[in-house]
């Protein structure tokens, strides 16, 4: 190569340019860009690549009302529409700001409820259960004809509907349907929130007038085992209690928790009075004793308004409380006598005072005779119908009849308690899917079932809670898919009404409860009048709203503007529109209290001369007392929402399923280890539990958490193990507060 | 990391840290590259021989590196640090400048273990002898000890006539099957003739003008050296659990290699020929 | 969790977002924990997850006065990332700048996409407010359709923590910009936990804004911070009228032992 | 005796001349248990990489578990490589050449093992390079990462000539030349290695010393580093020679040969002992300063850290006195007088002391509560963690055994046969 470029020159050129290139930012920039690329979440592994998040381009908000418990919180759902698909999807839930009941707050269940539509235990077709956790699909028609056959077959047994949230439109449909049957029952299970109407009727003779707790104005709350800081009542009541506890000066609310268990409320109450198990009523009677003896109440007035406060007949309240002098109560409850006196004086001094006795959702309500003692205390305190006491609330109209009754009301089945039903009498049981917020141990239901054979139908959308005991599960629309209404929460003093309109259309497989009742009625050839059409929830709701509108009082909350208007200023379509879009009607105030007479010992009920104290006496050497504890929505799908693992499993905030707390001294005496496994035995069975030592728990107590098993990976629950609530002793009046138990290492 | 990478800042700490890091990387890479370039340049036979000898000598145990003057008792316990090259050794030149006081147990020509030492031969520590011929050329051959060790039926890769040899470079190879043994060249010079098996493997070398043979053992040094080498051999054999042992003070077996498996024998031979 | 540096304050006005939690009001209901998990697309804990391996960017701890039955009194401490403003321990330890303080807002942001999961920051955090994705994020079938579109998912093997719902700040800024405002209004940006608290125990706002409620509460008598003595300057303040509650924040953890209790 | 001991082995061509090694079959037989451990460890590592770190028992509190403890320990024990190199090449202590090769191999094993475990330990190993690309220079971990990586390169370069000198490999001219030239640059590398080691040993200490959130680990600073930075350097420098002494002794017991002369043992012991005396002194001063100044200034009482069983005050006593002062005096004053067995026993104690120190810094630090409503926690590693841990041990044993068999780790070995 004479004048050409040699190979060496070429190499120099290439090498030189390579080095030169390296000195420019280009290669480094490329490296950096690739670095950023590898930082994208889809790189390099993981299943998240498959997870498509909705685009956040089209966001809208819908308002509705929460149906997870009867408390009627306003819910604002953030929806995203998926591009291309056009389908809406809920991507966020918050409370509706300014809502008269909840004012923008939601509980943990309500916030987590966004995932409920995709709950792993949601059923996607009507099924027939053929064994523990095993089921086969069944067509709706087949199921209905089976159920109809069962109903027509059960001539001796009764047909019952178990409705956890009474006074909804669907409740009236149930009552109507059951009323058409000759042997139908409409049953409400026990709840822990409000004042049982039966109790007020017996002590105050107020009929079906319902009472609520006016906690907004109270300055002293004596709570007998009511979880008032742990999911009790409406959010507004709850917030008001929190607010009032906080504020200084005269308005400051004092909260005294009388409870055996070291519940959440007991932990953070101003004062915790740890009475021995089953002696809450004794403590209440002790307080009554002190009040009467120290003239802390208007005894003359009480004598005037009550026949059984003090009379010569021998079964008067005075006679009863005479048996509960402080020394005796102290011996029973384990609380020093001077403490009792001190507390009573403070309660009597610090008015308005209110005595609450709902009971814990895990351990259920108190027995009626215990409730009488608490109610008596309320009467002594003068808390009936007064500001900061128990107040009656207005009634809501039924879709079938107006407020003041009509012919149609005769066709509605009467409302019964579970304890009213004779044991072994139910042949067909239809369980509504809604939740009362309070546990219902299966045995309380089971003992009412006919031993000769029974058919149980559940309308729950999930294979969870008591639905697992059903023979047929006809899954109703899930949360945010259901059309429903929410009546006044049972703890409230003011009537309210909300309509739940579905935000998402229910899947095809879901069975609307009213549709089911309609089909069943058709299959049973029940005569239908135009006004007793069970179908068309829309129609029924409209009827009810119409009747409400005609009352022309109260305010209507508009969820979209966050403001309230007078109902009288709204036309019916406007009212309906407000309600459908997450609004809420709220009454002007509590109802008028009729002139009442007090009946301390419970009217028709046989007065008890002596409230028996449970959990003592014939205890064996290693016999302890099992106290189930839970919070709102125990054992429901809402509590077993997978994301609830944050509370139960991924943090120590709430004890996970079948965990028991015992005092270290008790635990060590039983040979247990902190964090170890144990077996709890009662006369009803054995449960396997995890043991936690907690020095704040009363010795001799097994404080057990009632929580659904967080979740199972399969849709079907595996073999259902006995949980703590299953081994509780059920009393004849369907309460299960106290159970003697043994615990030993497993 | 670099000024145009996200997260880079012109903070003092950052600059100091990265400068140190880049310096360290530069030093590591630089010294490694230097080594690699040098190694590339080293890939020439002469240089490789030099390196090989350097390495072999470094690997010799101390007792195999005893100074020739320690054999004669001129110094006490000295170990050679100069690759057995006395021509450039200061100690050697100093010692040879003074009169000898010897304490060798052997007189010239005496034969330890029955090995013959030729008085007119110079010995290299790689078990070769050098005889200065009258015409100024040198004849090289294996000494008796090595002869006894080399395989009986082996081949030799003798250098071609005209090859230049270097002191402590490769003389020639013995080869038997896969095994191989290298004989160090005791002198510098050009090969002018080779003798094969029949002639007893020798090379004739023209050392050129400045033939310096000071590094070769002679006279009284040879006996003690040979004795120590026999000890070394005995030890090497002993290390392999003495398939063959030397009769104490007796005669070295003829051709002990024949009695020793080849694979292992290669090592013993190589050790004696100063290959590590 | 979005990169903390992408949306800057429009006017460059400096904020210092912080929170005051009135622990006298906290009932430990856990709504904040759930709201946080839902808002930030934190997956439900796998079957094997425990309170030691779960991810709760907001976690409510129970503390008590250390007394035995029946004198035991409890208080709940919602603890999320404390957004330390003075030498946050996690920022300086991260080997690849995956933790950054946004100078415009004072929010300590975690950039999970740059995190390699060495977990040094977790060891450094005295509040244990950092969580590692021990598992792949998995939701039950279909449930991922309800995830928050504003927050990207984190993969297995990276650390995450509370960033004061930074995406909500971005959304608020975008909204303000769309409405022609330079600055967001007070209350326009609040994290999900604050929004969800049923007892309004949490107050959120700009600690630099002397007119804000959060400033007033933070400066008030009953306010305190957890482990203030470490000098990291946490921006989550707590408030209590009860002295024993305030003392919990700085109490020597070993003080319970000195009274003779057993470990664990 | 088997007269053809070396000859029965198939790998005779690879074994260095002049030394004898056990038959290949026996060698393999002895390695089998280690190979099994290696296989199990590999499976565990695979599980951790494929399924994620949920395979371990680490948790959000014990973000660092047994692996980080292992890393810290073996890096401290592997410090013999840099320190021996430093003594030989920079301070010209030629006697230590006898153990230099072995020290390099040990160092290589320790560092490569540590990095291997670190790669499993991080959640996203594929992103490990982010540290280099977006380094946060304030992080001790960045310093550690940079230095360890560089130092592993240095160790590999130092290890390379030892490998290339293998009897068979050196027959390749390029290898022969390369090892020679690498050998020539060794002083430079030893210098760089010393520099890097000082920094990363220190930074490993700084890793915990800077944790202002953990008063138990937090130490006040000298210049920009907490005191643990310096303590870790000295303790590693002290433990390194002890570990070399120990491994050499073990190698010599297993191979039933004398590998180095007794004065090498004595020298190692003396170096280790004197450094350890200094370390124990400084550590005591540091501990006292920490107890009386640092901790009270944070409103805590130092004794509170030692109330949590099982990590009571004994651990401090054991660390400083039993495994610190006692062996240091033995090594320092016994190096010329005591028998090797005593020195070995003392070395074991030194190594235990250093390992205990690393344990305290990692595990105990994390187990202690920081907030008053925290819990004291204990952590039990899962089998996968143990298996990965043992993987490194097995890997080390295997690499060392292979090196010992085929490479000349102990130049004095042939000479030792004479004596």
- What are the tens digits of pLDDT across the range C132-176? 999 988 888 888 888 888 888 888 899 999 999 999 999 899 889
Of D3, D20, D173, the CB nearest to B243: D3
Exposure letters D111-121 (e unless 16+ CB within 10 A, then b)? bbbbbbbbebb
The confidence score (pLDDT) of residue D216 equals 93
Distance CA A666, CA A669 (A): 5
- Nearest CA to CA, how far is D149 from chain B (Å)? 10
Cβ contacts of A207 within 8 Å, gap of 6 or more: A201
Under 8 Å CB-to-CB from D189, ≥6 apart: which residues?
B28, B31, D85, D154, D157, D158
Q: Are B181 and B272 in contact (CB under 8 A)?
A: no
Residue A40 sits at the chain D interface (C-beta within 8 Å) = no
CB D201 within 8 A of CB D83: no
- B50, exposed or middle or buried, with CB in 10 Å at 0-12, 13-18, 19+? middle
Taking only residues 282 to 321 of chain D, the set having a beta carbon closer than 8 angstroms to any beta carbon of chain C reads: 298-301, 303-305, 307-309
Distance CA A437, CA A193 (A): 9
Mean pLDDT by 10 residues, chain D (419 residues): 46 80 89 96 94 92 93 93 92 91 95 94 87 89 92 94 90 91 92 92 93 91 88 94 94 90 90 94 94 90 88 91 92 81 92 95 93 90 95 96 92 77
CATH topology match: A215-388 vs A624-745 = no
**D133/B240 CB distance under 8 A:** no
- Segment B157-169, tens digit of pLDDT: 888 888 888 888 8
Q: What is the pLDDT of residue A526?
A: 77
Q: E strands, A622-705, where?
A: 624-629, 659-662, 677-682, 685-693, 701-705
The closest CB to that of D180, out of B40, B55, B236, belongs to: B55
Residues of A in contact with B5 (CB under 8 A): 28, 32, 35
Q: Domain limits of chain A?
A: 7-49, 127-191+397-539, 215-388, 624-745
**Contact yes or no for A92 and C38 at CB 8 A:** yes
Quote the percentage of chain A above a pLDDT of 70.
88
Is any Cβ of chain C less than 8 angstroms from the Cβ of D63? yes
In contact, C139 and D158? CB cutoff 8 Å = no
The verdict on a CB contact (< 8 Å) between A35 and D133 is: yes
Token pair listed for C62: 């129970």
By the CB < 8 Å criterion, does D133 face chain B?
Answer: yes
pLDDT(A662) > 90: yes
Between C22, C27, C68, which is nearest A696 by CB? C68
Interface contact flag, A38 D133, Cβ < 8 Å: no
Length of chain C measured in residues: 264
Nearest alpha-carbon partner for D332 in D387, D386, D277, D394: D277
Task: In whole angstroms, give the CA distance from residue D15 to residue D20.
Answer: 8
Averaged over A350-356, what is the pLDDT?
92
Say yes or no for a CB contact (<8 Å) between D20 and B240: yes
pLDDT of A111 above 50: yes
Q: E strand or H helix at D201, and its extent?
A: helix D173-209
Domain boundaries, chain B: 12-41, 46-272
D50–chain C Cβ distance below 8 A for any pair: no
- Hey, are the CB atoms on D126 and A39 less than 8 Å from each other? no
Instruction: Suggest the residue from C1, C26, C31 to mutate for an interface test with chain A (most A CBs closer than 10 A).
Output: C31
Interface check for D376 against chain A (CB to CB < 8 A): the answer is no
Of the pLDDT bands very low, low, confident and very high (cuts 50, 70, 90), residue A311 is confident
Do the strands C130-132 and C159-161 form a parallel or antiparallel pair, or are they unpaired?
A: antiparallel
Q: Which of D47, D48, D54, D137 should we substitute to test contact with C (largest number of C Cβ atoms within 10 Å)?
A: D54
Any A CB within 8 A of C62 CB: yes
Which of D267, D233, D234 is CA-nearest to residue D248?
D267
**Cβ atoms of C48 and D54 closer than 8 Å:** yes
Confidence of residue B73 (pLDDT cuts 50, 70, 90): confident
Do A28 and B2 make contact, defined as CB atoms within 8 angstroms? yes
DSSP 8-state code for residue D293 = I
* Secondary structure (3-state) at B103: coil
A87: confidence class by pLDDT, cuts 50, 70, 90:
confident
Rounded distance between C-alpha atoms, residue A569 and residue C188, angstroms: 32
| CATH 2.40.50.100 applies to domain B46-272 | yes
Could you tell me how many CB contacts below 8 A there are between chain A and chain D?
11
C61 in the Ramachandran plot: left (φ > 0), alpha (ψ -120 to 50) or beta?
beta
Of C96, C125, C251, nearest to D213 by CB-CB distance is C125
pLDDT bracket for residue C91 (50, 70, 90)? very high
> Do residue A235 and residue C198 have CB atoms under 8 angstroms apart?
yes
Mean of the pLDDT values across residues A309-336? 87
Residue of D nearest to A37 (CA): D127
Q: Residue A598: which of A375, A409, A411, A346 has the closest Cα?
A: A375
Is D371's CB within 8 Å of C227's CB? yes
Q: Which of D60, D124, D373 to mutate to test the interface with A (most CBs of A within 10 A)?
A: D124
B247 close contact with D: CB closer than 8 A? no
* Residue from B50, B267, B272 to probe the interface with D (highest D Cβ count within 10 Å): B267
Whether omega before D310 lies within 30 degrees of 0, making that bond cis, reads: yes
From start to end of chain B, where are the E strands?
122-124, 128-132, 138-142, 155-157, 164-165, 170-176, 179-184, 189-195, 202-206
Interchain CB contact of B7 with A (< 8 Å)? no
Class of domain C17-45+52-249: alpha beta
- Residue pair D44/D392 in contact by the 8 Å Cβ criterion: no
| Nearest-CB residue to C113 (from A40, A59, A696) | A40
**Contact flag B42-D13 (C-beta cutoff 8 Å):** no
Å between C166 CA and nearest CA of chain D:
23
Nearest-angstrom CA–CA distance, A348 and A382: 10
pLDDT digits (tens, 9 = 90+) for A425-467: 999 999 998 888 888 888 899 999 998 889 999 999 998 888 8
Helix, strand, coil shares, percent, chain B, to 5: 40, 15, 45
For B83-96, how does the pLDDT look when each residue is reduced to its tens digit (9 = 90+)? 888 888 888 888 87
Residue A301 near residue A596 (C-beta atoms within 8 A): no
- Enumerate the residues of chain C whose CB falls inside 8 A of the CB of residue D370: 126-128, 227, 253
Following DSSP, what letter does each residue of D143-167 receive, concatenated? Answer: HHHHHHHHHHHHHHHHHHHHHHTST
What pLDDT is attached to residue A733?
83
**A650 vs C56: CB contact, 8 Å cut-off?**
yes
The two three-digit tokens of residue C151, written as one number? 């927050």
Please tell me if residue C219 touches chain A, with a CB cutoff of 8 Å. no
* A459 touches A431 (CB < 8 A): yes
CA distance A149 to chain C (A): 37
Residue whose structure tokens are 């007392």: A625
Cβ-nearest to B4 among A25, A35, A36 = A25
3-state DSSP percent of chain C in helix, strand and coil, to 5: 25, 15, 60
Length of chain D: 419
Confidence of residue B241 (pLDDT cuts 50, 70, 90): very low
Helix (H, G, I), strand (E, B) or coil at A578: helix
Which of A28, A35, A36 comes nearest B4 by C-beta?
A28
Whether the pLDDT of residue A589 is over 60: the answer is yes
pLDDT for A618: 45
A675 CB contacts (<8 Å, ≥6 apart)?
A690, A691, A692
- Asked if D133 lies within 8 A of A44 by C-beta distance, the reply is no
A214 three-state secondary structure: coil
Interface ipTM: 0.89
Q: Does A38 touch chain D (CB under 8 A)?
A: yes
Give the domain A127-191+397-539 fold. Rossmann fold (3.40.50)
> Is the CB of A115 less than 8 angstroms away from the CB of C38?
yes
Task: Report the relative pairing of strands A415-417 and A271-273 from DSSP bridges.
Answer: unpaired
CB distance from B6 to chain A under 8 Å? Answer: yes
C230 touches chain A (CB under 8 A): no
The token pair at D292 is 């009386």
Q: How far is CA B101 from CA B68, B119, B120, B128, in A?
A: 13, 19, 21, 26
Q: What CATH class is the domain A215-388?
A: alpha beta
B32 has pLDDT over 80: yes
Question: Would the CB atoms of D130 and A31 count as touching at under 8 Å?
Answer: no
- C-beta atoms of A39 and D127 within 8 A: yes
**Sheet bearing A484-486, strands edge to edge:** A484-486, A496-500, A584-586, A555-558, A563-566
Give the neighbours of chain A: at least 3 Cβ pairs within 8 Å.
B, C, D
Domains of chain D from N-terminus onward: 12-418 (1.20.1630.10)
Q: Is A211 helix (H, G, I), strand (E, B) or coil?
A: strand
Residues C237-254 have pLDDT tens digits of: 999 999 999 999 988 888
> At what angle are helices D24-51 and D383-406 packed, to 10 degrees?
150
**Among the listed residues A701, A679, A690, A686, the one whose alpha carbon sits nearest the alpha carbon of residue A657:** A690
Query: For residue D326, what are its two tokens?
Result: 């006692």
User: Considering the domain A624-745, what is its CATH architecture?
Assistant: Beta Barrel (2.40)
Any residues with CB less than 8 A from the CB of A111 and at least 6 apart, and which?
A: A93, A94, C31, C34, C35, C38, C196
Structure confidence by residue, pLDDT tens digits, C22-43: 999 999 999 999 999 999 999 9
Interface list for A 12-41 with B (CB within 8 A): 25, 28-29, 32, 35-36
Confidence at B256, pLDDT banded by 50, 70, 90: low
* pLDDT at site B212: 81
Cα(A433)–Cα(A465) distance, integer angstroms: 10
Q: What is the pLDDT of residues B101-115, one digit of tens each?
A: 555 555 555 555 666
């Amino acid at each position: 190569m004479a004048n050409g470029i040699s190979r060496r020159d070429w190499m120099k050129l290439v090498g030189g340019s390579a080095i030169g290139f390296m000195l420019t930012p280009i290669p480094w920039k490329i490296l950096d860009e690739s670095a950023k690329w590898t930082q994208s979440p889809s790189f390099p592994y993981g299943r998240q690549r498959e997870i498509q998040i909705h685009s956040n381009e089209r966001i809208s908000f819908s308002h509705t009302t929460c149906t997870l418990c009867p408390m009627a919180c306003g819910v604002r759902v953030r929806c995203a529409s998926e591009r291309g698909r056009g389908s809406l999807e809920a991507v966020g839930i918050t409370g509706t700001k300014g809502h008269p009941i909840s004012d923008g707050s939601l509980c943990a269940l309500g916030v987590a409820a966004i995932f409920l539509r995709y709950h792993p235990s949601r059923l996607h077709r009507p099924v027939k259960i053929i064994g523990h956790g095993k089921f086969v699909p069944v067509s709706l028609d087949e199921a209905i004809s089976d159920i109809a056959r069962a109903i027509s077959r059960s001539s001796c047994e009764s047909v019952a509907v178990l409705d956890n949230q009474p006074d909804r439109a669907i409740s009236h449909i149930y009552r109507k349907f059951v009323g058409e049957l000759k042997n139908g029952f409409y049953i409400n299970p026990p709840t822990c929130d409000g004042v049982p109407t039966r109790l007020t009727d017996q002590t105050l003779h107020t009929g079906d007038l319902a009472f609520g707790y006016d906690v907004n104005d109270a300055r002293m709350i004596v709570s007998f085992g009511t979880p008032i800081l742990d999911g009790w009542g409406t959010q507004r009541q709850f917030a008001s209690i929190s607010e009032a506890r906080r504020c200084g000066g005269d308005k400051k609310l004092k909260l005294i928790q009388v409870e055996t268990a070291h519940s959440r409320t007991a932990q953070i109450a101003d004062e915790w009075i740890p009475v021995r198990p089953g002696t809450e009523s004794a403590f209440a009677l002790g307080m009554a004793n002190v009040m009467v003896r120290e003239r802390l109440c208007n005894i003359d007035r009480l004598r005037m308004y009550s026949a059984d406060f003090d009379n010569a007949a021998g079964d008067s309240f005075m006679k009863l409380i005479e048996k509960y002098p402080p020394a005796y109560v102290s011996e029973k409850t384990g609380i020093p006598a001077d403490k009792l006196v001190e507390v009573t004086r403070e309660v009597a001094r610090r008015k308005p005072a209110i005595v609450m006795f709902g009971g814990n959702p895990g351990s259920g309500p108190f027995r009626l005779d215990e409730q009488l003692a608490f109610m008596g205390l309320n009467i002594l305190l003068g808390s009936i119908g007064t500001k900061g006491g128990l107040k009656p609330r207005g009634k809501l109209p039924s879709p079938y009849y107006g407020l003041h009754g009509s012919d149609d009301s005769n066709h509605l089945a009467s409302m019964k308690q579970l304890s009213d039903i004779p044991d072994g009498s139910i042949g067909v049981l239809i369980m509504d899917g809604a939740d009362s917020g309070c546990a219902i141990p299966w045995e309380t239901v089971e003992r009412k079932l006919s031993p000769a054979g029974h058919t149980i139908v559940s309308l729950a959308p999930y294979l969870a809670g008591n639905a697992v005991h059903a023979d047929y599960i006809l899954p109703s629309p899930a949360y945010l898919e259901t059309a429903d209404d929410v009546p006044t929460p049972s703890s409230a003093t003011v009537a309210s009404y909300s309509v739940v309109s579905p935000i998402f259309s229910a899947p095809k497989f879901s069975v609307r409860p009213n549709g089911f009742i309609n089909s069943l009625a058709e299959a049973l050839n029940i005569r239908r009048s135009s006004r007793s059409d069970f179908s068309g929830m829309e129609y029924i709701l409209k009827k009810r709203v119409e009747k409400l509108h005609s009352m022309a009082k109260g305010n209507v909350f508009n969820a979209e503007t966050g403001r309230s208007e007078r109902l009288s200023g709204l036309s019916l379509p406007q009212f309906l529109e407000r309600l459908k879009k997450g609004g809420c009607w709220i009454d002007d105030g509590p109802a008028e209290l009729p002139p009442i007479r007090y009946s301390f010992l419970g009217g028709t009920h046989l007065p008890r001369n002596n409230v028996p104290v449970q959990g003592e006496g014939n205890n064996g050497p290693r016999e302890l007392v099992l106290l189930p504890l839970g919070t709102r929505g125990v054992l429901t799908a809402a509590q077993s929402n997978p994301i609830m693992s944050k509370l139960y499993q991924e943090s120590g905030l709430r004890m996970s399923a079948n965990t028991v707390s015992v005092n270290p001294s008790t635990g060590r005496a039983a040979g247990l280890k902190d964090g170890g496994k144990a077996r709890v035995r009662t006369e009803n069975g054995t449960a396997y539990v995890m043991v936690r030592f907690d020095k704040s728990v009363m010795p001799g107590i097994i404080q057990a958490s009632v929580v659904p098993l967080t979740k199972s990976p399969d849709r079907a629950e595996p073999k259902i193990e006995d949980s703590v609530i299953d081994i509780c002793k059920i009393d004849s009046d369907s309460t299960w507060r106290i159970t003697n138990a043994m615990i030993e290492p497993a | 990391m670099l000024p145009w990478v996200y997260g880079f800042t012109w903070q003092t700490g950052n600059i100091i840290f990265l400068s140190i890091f880049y310096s360290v990387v530069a030093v590591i890479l630089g010294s490694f590259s230097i080594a690699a370039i040098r190694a590339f340049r080293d890939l020439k036979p002469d240089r490789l021989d030099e390196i090989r000898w350097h390495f072999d000598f470094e690997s010799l145990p101390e007792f195999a590196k005893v100074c020739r003057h320690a054999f004669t008792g001129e110094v006490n316990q000295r170990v050679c640090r100069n690759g057995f090259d006395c021509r450039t050794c200061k100690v050697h030149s100093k010692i040879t400048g003074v009169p000898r006081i010897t304490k060798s147990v052997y007189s010239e020509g005496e034969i330890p273990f029955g090995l013959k030492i030729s008085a007119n031969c110079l010995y290299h520590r790689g078990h070769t002898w050098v005889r200065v011929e009258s015409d100024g050329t040198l004849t090289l051959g294996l000494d008796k000890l090595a002869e006894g060790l080399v395989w009986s039926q082996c081949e030799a890769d003798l250098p071609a006539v005209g090859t230049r040899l270097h002191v402590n470079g490769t003389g020639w190879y013995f080869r038997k099957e896969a095994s191989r043994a290298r004989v160090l060249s005791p002198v510098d010079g050009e090969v002018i003739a080779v003798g094969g098996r029949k002639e007893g493997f020798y090379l004739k070398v023209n050392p050129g003008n400045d033939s310096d043979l000071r590094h070769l053992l002679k006279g009284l040094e040879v006996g003690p050296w040979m004795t120590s080498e026999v000890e070394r051999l005995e030890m090497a054999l002993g290390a392999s659990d003495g398939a063959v042992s030397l009769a104490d003070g007796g005669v070295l077996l003829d051709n002990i290699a024949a009695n020793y498996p080849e694979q292992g024998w290669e090592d013993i031979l190589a050790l004696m020929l100063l290959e590590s | 969790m979005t990169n903390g540096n992408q949306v800057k304050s429009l006017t460059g006005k400096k904020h210092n977002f912080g929170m005051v939690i009135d622990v006298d009001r906290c009932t430990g209901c856990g709504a904040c924990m759930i709201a946080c998990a839902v808002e930030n697309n934190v997956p439900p804990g796998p079957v094997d997850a425990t309170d030691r391996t779960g991810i709760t960017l907001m976690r409510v701890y129970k503390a008590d006065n250390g007394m035995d039955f029946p004198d035991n009194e409890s208080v709940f401490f919602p603890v999320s990332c404390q957004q330390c403003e003075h030498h946050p321990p996690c920022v300086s330890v991260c080997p690849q700048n995956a933790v950054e303080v946004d100078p415009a807002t004072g929010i300590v942001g975690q950039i999970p996409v740059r995190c390699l999961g060495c977990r040094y920051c977790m060891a450094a955090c005295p509040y244990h407010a950092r969580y590692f994705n021990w598992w792949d994020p998995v939701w039950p079938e279909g449930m991922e359709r309800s995830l928050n579109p504003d927050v990207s998912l984190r993969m297995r093997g990276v650390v995450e923590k509370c960033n004061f719902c930074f995406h909500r700040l971005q959304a608020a800024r975008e909204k303000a910009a769309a409405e022609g405002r330079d600055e967001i209004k007070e209350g326009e940006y609040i994290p999900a936990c604050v929004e969800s608290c049923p007892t309004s125990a949490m107050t959120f706002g700009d600690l630099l804004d002397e007119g804000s409620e959060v400033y007033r509460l933070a400066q008030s008598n009953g306010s305190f911070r957890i482990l203030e003595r470490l000098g990291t300057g946490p921006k989550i303040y707590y408030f209590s009228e009860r002295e024993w509650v305030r003392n919990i924040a700085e109490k020597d953890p070993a003080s319970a032992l000195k009274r003779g209790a057993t470990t664990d | 005796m088997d007269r053809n001991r070396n000859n029965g082995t198939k790998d005779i061509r690879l074994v260095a001349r002049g030394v004898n090694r056990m038959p290949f079959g026996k060698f393999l037989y002895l390695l089998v248990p280690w190979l099994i451990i290696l296989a199990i460890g590999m499976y565990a590592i695979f599980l951790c990489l494929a399924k994620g770190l949920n395979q371990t028992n680490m948790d959000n509190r014990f973000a660092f578990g047994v692996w980080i403890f292992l890393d810290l320990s073996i890096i401290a024990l592997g410090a013999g490589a840099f320190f021996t190199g430093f003594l030989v090449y920079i301070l010209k202590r030629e006697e230590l050449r006898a153990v230099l090769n072995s020290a390099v191999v040990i160092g290589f094993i320790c560092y490569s093992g540590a990095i291997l475990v670190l790669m499993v330990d991080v959640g996203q190993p594929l992103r490990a390079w982010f540290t280099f690309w977006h380094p946060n220079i304030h992080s001790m971990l960045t310093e550690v990462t940079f230095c360890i990586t560089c130092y592993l390169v240095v160790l590999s370069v130092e290890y390379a000539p030892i490998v290339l000198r293998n009897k068979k490999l050196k027959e390749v001219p390029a290898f022969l030349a390369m090892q020679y030239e690498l050998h020539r640059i060794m002083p430079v590398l030893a210098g760089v290695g010393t520099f890097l080691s000082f920094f990363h040993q220190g930074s490993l200490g700084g890793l915990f010393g800077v944790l202002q959130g953990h008063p138990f680990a937090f130490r006040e600073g000298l210049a920009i580093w907490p005191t643990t930075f310096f303590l870790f350097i000295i303790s590693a420098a002290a433990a390194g020679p002890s570990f070399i002494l120990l491994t050499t002794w073990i190698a010599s017991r297993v191979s039933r040969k004398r590998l180095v002369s007794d004065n090498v043992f004595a020298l190692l012991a003396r170096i280790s002992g004197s450094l350890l005396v200094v370390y124990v002194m400084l550590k005591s001063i540091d501990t006292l300063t920490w107890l009386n100044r640092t901790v009270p200034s944070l409103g805590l009482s130092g004794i509170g850290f030692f109330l949590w069983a099982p990590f009571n005050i004994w651990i401090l006593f054991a660390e400083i006195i039993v495994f610190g002062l006692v062996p240091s005096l033995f090594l320092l004053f016994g190096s010329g007088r005591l028998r090797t067995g005593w020195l070995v026993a003392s070395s074991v104690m030194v190594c235990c002391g250093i390992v205990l120190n690393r344990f305290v810094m990692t595990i105990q630090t994390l187990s202690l509560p920081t907030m008053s409503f925290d819990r004291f926690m204990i952590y039990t590693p899962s089998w996968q963690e143990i298996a990965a841990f043992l993987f490194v041990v097995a890997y080390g044993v295997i690499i060392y055994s292979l090196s010992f068999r085929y490479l000349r780790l102990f130049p004095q070995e042939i000479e030792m046969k004479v004596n």
